[in-house]
Chains A and B, each alone.
Chain A
């Protein structure tokens, strides 16, 4: 926390996606799809057959790639790897939890809001705890 994090500037960074088929197809229509020379994509389509390990691996891959600036992840998928999402604290790539067709956005589960909510927690302020 005390160390200043280097914020990399990039003139052409990608948007990665970990979401259901319709969401990924929609954003691919908007032009965010990228396939590199090794046929690696910047998205993972999550369906009933996708394992938690695959989601974890995709999340770790996208958050360590230098060419990715934002990772869009459906909130219900983020809930499957909640410990991983909540422990992520780099400024780039930014993790955005988005709603899906069957799971509307719930601010109570958002990792960013969970992190900052202690500022509204009168108990922790009164007791002088961090």
Chain B
């Protein structure tokens, strides 16, 4: 542990301040040329993307609500409501994978329509490149599994359903993908904010 001594404004008192390892690293990092500017840029970019993505998600949700209302109009209100929701034990078909890429901020990855029976045919977020060629070659099987899971989700509301309900499902899937991007942007925004805050505190 490094100890630092500094005089107060009166010049009479001696004040000992310990810097822990983390503050030392941050101070060193911020002393690198352009490090703080880089953080500010990351903060501003994250803020801009965070707000833009919310416009996108609002638009996708509006479309989803409209399609759901249209489906309810054609199928009847009694056929699309929360009382029909499946309360028997069942796992989620769409989940998230959290990774901690650089040890500082969480990164969320969407895993859509992963069947509990066929975990190997999972589809991941489009930003993640599949590492195994066998996943690519079984693309058709993946699509069949995805369609099967989608139909299973729709079957809660009966067998004969309005095309608007399918459209609503796709809109909400799109909204979900955008929300995961927002979650990642939130991570980046809060991380850069906290780093800037710490840098300001360290300077003082």
Q: A residues within 8 Å of B by Cβ? A: 1-2, 4, 7-15, 21-37, 39, 41-42, 45, 69-70, 72, 91-92, 94, 96, 98-99, 101, 104-105, 107, 112-113, 115-116, 119, 128, 130
- A10 cross-chain contacts in B, Cβ below 8 A: 96-98
- A69 cross-chain contacts in B, Cβ below 8 A: 96, 98, 106, 108
- B180 cross-chain contacts in A, Cβ below 8 A: 70
Partner of A35, one of B86, B165, B201: B86
In contact, A116 and B64 (Cβ under 8 angstroms) = no
In contact, A96 and B182 (Cβ under 8 angstroms) = yes
In contact, A13 and B95 (Cβ under 8 angstroms) = yes
In contact, B99 and A9 (Cβ under 8 angstroms) = yes
Query: In terms of DSSP, what is the predominant structure of the interface of chain A?
Result: mixed
In contact, A94 and B186 (Cβ under 8 angstroms) = yes
A39 vs chain B, min Cβ distance (A): 6
- B141 cross-chain contacts in A, Cβ below 8 A: none
In contact, B176 and A32 (Cβ under 8 angstroms) = yes
User: A12-B95, A98-B57, A116-B189 known; A107 and B176 CB under 8 Å?
Assistant: no
In contact, A96 and B186 (Cβ under 8 angstroms) = yes
| Nearest CB in chain A to that of B156: its residue | A28
Partner of B47, one of A27, A34, A45, A116: A116
| 13 A-B pairs with C-beta separation under 8 A | A2-B20, A4-B22, A12-B95, A21-B82, A25-B81, A26-B175, A29-B168, A31-B113, A91-B190, A94-B106, A104-B58, A115-B190, A119-B193
Q: Bound complex: CA of A81 vs CA of B95, how far in Å?
A: 26
- A30 cross-chain contacts in B, Cβ below 8 A: 94, 153, 169, 172-173, 175-176
| Nearest CB in chain A to that of B182: its residue | A96
- A92 cross-chain contacts in B, Cβ below 8 A: 98, 106
- A39 cross-chain contacts in B, Cβ below 8 A: 87, 89
5 closest cross-chain pairs (CB), A and B? A31-B94, A31-B93, A34-B92, A26-B172, A29-B169
Contact string against A for B residues 168-199, beta-carbon threshold 8 Å, 1 for contact and 0 otherwise: 11011101100110110011011001101110
In contact, A13 and B98 (Cβ under 8 angstroms) = yes
- A2 cross-chain contacts in B, Cβ below 8 A: 20, 22-23
- B103 cross-chain contacts in A, Cβ below 8 A: 7
- A128 cross-chain contacts in B, Cβ below 8 A: 204
- B86 cross-chain contacts in A, Cβ below 8 A: 33, 35
A-contacting residues, B148-174, CB 8 Å: 149-150, 153-154, 156, 165, 168-169, 171-173
In contact, B149 and A31 (Cβ under 8 angstroms) = yes
In contact, B193 and A115 (Cβ under 8 angstroms) = yes
User: 5 more A-B contacts (CB under 8 A) besides A23-B65, A25-B85, A30-B175?
Assistant: A15-B95, A30-B94, A69-B106, A94-B187, A99-B61
User: A15-B96, A99-B58 known; A119 and B43 CB under 8 Å?
Assistant: yes
In contact, B106 and A112 (Cβ under 8 angstroms) = no
- B197 cross-chain contacts in A, Cβ below 8 A: 1
B68 at the interface (CB under 8 A from A): yes
In contact, B105 and A91 (Cβ under 8 angstroms) = yes
In contact, B89 and A105 (Cβ under 8 angstroms) = no
